[in-house]
Amino acid sequence: MNKHSLIIGGAGFIGSNLSAKLLLDGNQVTVVDNFSRGLYVYLSEHIKNERFNFFNFDVAHRQHCMDAFENAHKISKIDEVWHLAANSDIPAGISNPDIDLKDTFLTTFEILIQIRKYDIPVLHFASSSAIYGDFGDDEIYETIGPLLPISNYGAMKLASEAQISAACESHLSRANIFRFPNVVGIPATHGVILDFINKLKINKEELTVLGNGTQKKAYLHVSDLVSAMQLVTTKESLQKTILVNIGPVDDGVTVKWIAEKVIERINPKARIIYGEGAKGWLGDVPKFNYSTDRLKSFGWSPRLSSSESILKAIDEIVKQESVK
């Protein structure tokens, strides 16, 4: 009997890559998505696979979440839940905190209620480096404190982690909490590369960048992210709640470098116009020194560096956008 994986948010950027990989591995895969960011077309290759099912529900609502789990459970007993549903537009959540409350936190809250009801032993959760807030130059390992997120998105990811941790005390056998870095690749729904490409579509001659371009961040390609998560899920652990930073092993690239690479690809003559300050937007963390020692101790290393991930993603996203 194949393992039955329920992927909430499975039609989004990371979810659709994960669904494809789990199907390839032979799993029974059920995707639940409300298409807030995800698209049905991202799953189009799976539709004919008899091990694949899809349900359109918004799991932040109790009844929808109940229905989603009931439908998935009817297919076969659910062995694991992957929770990848969230608002991924950080600035939107700053101006309207209800978005992160509902899409990023209440999804987690409701999913945990159903996990308890169906006695599902394992949850894999897409958390974020945003839970850490701004530690300046300090190396950010999983046990650092205090945790003072500076965006509502980061706050609601931390709230989710906290609720999952409490669930591990009462009913969950294991939770893998992955603290994601900036992830790039396709299908791109948001992020700096897509933003730049879209801006150049409107004005081919000028690219306006938020902030002064010196923000340096590490980027991981989605293919490396999926392989890292899968590796962690296969490892035995004495702890019920496993926290893992996922990221590349280099120290990242600047926004300026990304902007230059995007114009090189689209219109090398375009001018780049920088804003002021090191922060791109409210809630943006300008500097980030992410420790991936724990992940490396599991025996993982990324295939691509930050710069290689960005270059590959620029290529992929340019193609994605020209097809549209």
By the criterion CB under 8 A, which residues form the site for its own copies? Answer: 94, 97, 101, 105, 109, 112-113, 131, 133, 142-152, 154-156, 158-159, 161-163, 165-166, 168-170, 241, 243, 282-283
Nearer to its own copies, 22 or 131 (CB): 131
HEC profile of 188-226: CCCCHHHHHHHHHHHCCCEEEECCCCCCEECEEEHHHHH
Nearer to its own copies, 42 or 180 (CB): 180
Upper half-sphere CA count for residue 40 (Cβ side, 13 Å):
6
Exposed / middle / buried, residue 265 (Cβ in 10 Å: 0-12, 13-18, 19+): middle
Reading phi first (left if > 0) and then psi (alpha if -120 to 50, else beta), residue 283 is in left
Catalogue the E-assigned strands of the chain.
Answer: 4-8, 28-33, 52-56, 80-83, 122-128, 139-140, 174-180, 182-184, 206-209, 216-217, 219-221, 241-245, 253-254, 271-274, 289-290
How far apart are CB 126 and its own copies at their closest, in Å? 17
User: What letter does residue 100 receive in the DSSP assignment?
Assistant: I
How far apart are CB 116 and its own copies at their closest, in Å? 9
Nearer to its own copies, 45 or 119 (CB): 119
The helix or strand, by DSSP H or E, that contains position 147, with its residue range, turns out to be none
How far apart are CB 13 and its own copies at their closest, in Å? 23
How far apart are CB 151 and its own copies at their closest, in Å? 6
How far apart are CB 273 and its own copies at their closest, in Å? 26
Contact 84, 33 (CB under 8 A): no
Nearer to its own copies, 79 or 134 (CB): 134
How far apart are CB 304 and its own copies at their closest, in Å? 28
Nearer to its own copies, 159 or 314 (CB): 159
Nearer to its own copies, 82 or 105 (CB): 105
